[in-house]
């Protein structure tokens, strides 16, 4: 069999480990031929692709980014496009011309949507979910998330000492798009005093009150972890808005930090390397079994798969009753 593999959407730690998992099992175990497509769906539009050979599969486990490159190309996008059938046509032609028996798409929510459209058009697609945001519906976890949480937690740890030295309020904004997974997990692991998620409403008076209460209990600094996706007026960045409002409400000197792309860069954690490897190998197994139109998923500790049609267009948000929130509330952490 001849398979094509691409990575699409924002990069994250663990992508190279999953490409390695797909390719090594395809080459060594199943005797398949694998072609690497450059820069996501763009590579299928401009024909940028080449066979992946054994020597390329070394040194990938701990390598950040994606050696195939990525892009946010959405070939099925209709809005503002003159001839919306053009790109899908080119892509389907390319897949046929190249003789791909299957296409592996590694990506987040946007990729699941595009892959589902390709599956509906008759392409044998398998997807592997990846994103630091952990917001892909149908899988308990995405690889990249654990690495991002560990980077964000380290950053929050470092803010404690400077916040304490200056008796300041420190606001840190973490990524996550419209979901609060990174804020919740890094906020709890890093001992945040106030954690704001897009999924939960917040009231600046509660936040100010929580900071003043802490002072009354002898705690003269506070750490506020804010998800980038919380609602803010005037198109302001989350950290900037919350820091300004805290100063206004409490009169405390407040500083903000936007962690940004550092969360997406560098080496994956051991957990992410293993999750990525398991998912990659399973994708190849699905191809060998001829089971297509599926997304590989982690569910209850097992690697399995779900129909793309069930996943496309959905987002996995943090449940307001998540046990980290419930336990955090009991411990006096303010969630807004
Ligand atoms: O999906 C990963 C992510 O890093 C989000 O957390 C963030 O909102 C977005 O990508 C940033 O997108 P871009 O790479 O296009 O700036």
Q: Establish whether residue 11 lines the binding site of ligand 1, counting it when its CB lies within 6 angstroms of any ligand atom.
A: no
CA of 205 to the centre of ligand 1 (A): 30
Catalytic, out of 11, 133, 135, 272: 133
Q: Whose CA is nearest to atom 9 of ligand 1?
A: 177
Cα gap 26→34, rounded to integer Å: 7
The pLDDT value recorded for residue 271 is 98
Which ligand 1 atom is the nearest neighbour of the CA of 132? 2
The pLDDT value recorded for residue 277 is 98
Q: Establish whether residue 131 lines the binding site of ligand 1, counting it when its CB lies within 6 angstroms of any ligand atom.
A: yes
Which ligand 1 atom is the nearest neighbour of the CA of 229? 8
Q: Establish whether residue 177 lines the binding site of ligand 1, counting it when its CB lies within 6 angstroms of any ligand atom.
A: yes
Select from 8, 69, 107, 133 the residue to mutate for testing ligand 1; criterion: most ligand atoms less than 8 Å from CB: 133
Provide the angle, in degrees to the nearest 10, between the axes of the packed helices 270-289 and 145-166.
Answer: 160
How many DSSP H helices and E strands does the chain contain?
11, 11
Question: Which residues in the chain come in under a pLDDT of 50?
Answer: none
Cα gap 29→21, rounded to integer Å: 11
Tokens for 331, please give them. 């411990």
Cα gap 262→172, rounded to integer Å: 13
DSSP SS3 for 99: coil
What are the residues whose beta carbons fall under 8 Å from the beta carbon of 163, sequence distance 6 or more? Answer: 169, 170, 221, 222, 223
Q: Interior CA angle at 275 toward 326 and 300, to 5°?
A: 50
Q: Whose CA is nearest to atom 15 of ligand 1?
A: 10
The pLDDT value recorded for residue 36 is 98
Which ligand 1 atom is the nearest neighbour of the CA of 177? 8
CA of 177 to the centre of ligand 1 (A): 6
203 is a catalytic site residue:
no
Q: Whose CA is nearest to atom 11 of ligand 1?
A: 10
Establish how many alpha carbons lie within 13 A of residue 263's alpha carbon, considering only the half-sphere containing its beta carbon: 29
DSSP string of 141-196, one letter each residue:
--BTHHHHHHHHHHHHHHHHHHHHHHT-EEEEEE--TT--HHHHHHHHHTT-SEEE
- Torsion on CA atoms 278, 63, 26, 2, rounded to nearest 10: 130
Q: Establish whether residue 176 lines the binding site of ligand 1, counting it when its CB lies within 6 angstroms of any ligand atom.
A: yes
Q: Establish whether residue 272 lines the binding site of ligand 1, counting it when its CB lies within 6 angstroms of any ligand atom.
A: no
The dihedral sign for the CA sequence 171, 177, 183, 184: positive
Select from 177, 178, 184 the residue to mutate for testing ligand 1; criterion: most ligand atoms less than 8 Å from CB: 177
- pTM for the model: 0.97
Cα gap 75→90, rounded to integer Å: 9
CA of 107 to the centre of ligand 1 (A): 12
Instruction: Tell me which residue of 81, 142, 76, 83 sits closest to 110, measured CA to CA.
Output: 76
Q: Establish whether residue 175 lines the binding site of ligand 1, counting it when its CB lies within 6 angstroms of any ligand atom.
A: yes
**Beta-sheet strands, E only, within 162-280:** 169-174, 194-196, 222-227, 254-258
pLDDT for 95-105, tens place per residue? Answer: 999 999 999 99
Which ligand 1 atom is the nearest neighbour of the CA of 135? 1
- Torsion on CA atoms 248, 252, 253, 257, rounded to nearest 10: -80
Instruction: Tell me which residue of 89, 17, 99 sits closest to 283, measured CA to CA.
Output: 17
The pLDDT value recorded for residue 235 is 85
DSSP state of 143: B
Q: Whose CA is nearest to atom 14 of ligand 1?
A: 10
DSSP state of 63: -
Under 8 Å between Cβ of 328 and 200: no
């Amino acid at each position: 069999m001849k398979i094509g593999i691409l990575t699409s959407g924002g990069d994250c730690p663990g992508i190279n480990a999953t490409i390695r998992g797909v390719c090594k099992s395809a080459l060594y175990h199943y005797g398949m031929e694998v072609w690497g497509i450059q820069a996501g769906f763009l590579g299928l539009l401009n024909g940028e692709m080449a066979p992946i050979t054994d020597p390329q599969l070394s040194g990938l486990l701990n390598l950040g980014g994606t050696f195939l490159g990525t892009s946010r190309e959405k070939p099925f996008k209709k809005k503002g496009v003159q001839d919306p059938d053009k790109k899908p046509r080119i892509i389907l032609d390319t897949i046929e011309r190249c003789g791909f028996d299957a296409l592996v798409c590694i990506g987040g929510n946007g990729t699941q949507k595009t892959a589902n459209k390709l599956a509906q058009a008759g392409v044998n697609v398998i997807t592997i979910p990846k994103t630091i945001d952990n917001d892909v519906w149908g899988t308990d976890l995405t690889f990249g998330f654990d690495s991002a949480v560990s980077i964000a937690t380290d950053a929050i740890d470092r803010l404690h000492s400077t916040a304490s030295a200056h008796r300041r309020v420190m606001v840190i904004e973490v990524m996550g798009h419209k979901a609060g997974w990174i804020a919740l997990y890094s906020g709890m692991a890093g001992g945040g005093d106030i954690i704001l998620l897009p999924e939960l409403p917040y009231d600046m008076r509660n936040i100010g009150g929580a900071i003043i209460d802490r002072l009354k209990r002898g705690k003269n600094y506070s750490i506020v972890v804010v998800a980038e996706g919380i609602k803010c007026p005037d198109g302001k960045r989350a950290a900037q808005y919350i820091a300004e409002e805290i100063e206004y409400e409490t009169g405390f000197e407040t500083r903000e930090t936007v962690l940004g792309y550092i969360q997406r860069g560098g080496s994956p954690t051991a957990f992410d390397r293993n999750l990525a490897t398991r998912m990659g190998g399973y994708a190849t197994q699905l191809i060998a079994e001829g089971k297509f139109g599926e997304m590989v998923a982690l569910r209850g500790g097992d690697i399995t798969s779900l129909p793309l049609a069930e996943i496309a267009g959905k987002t996995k948000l943090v449940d307001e009753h998540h046990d980290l929130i419930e336990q955090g509330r009991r411990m006096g952490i303010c969630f807004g």
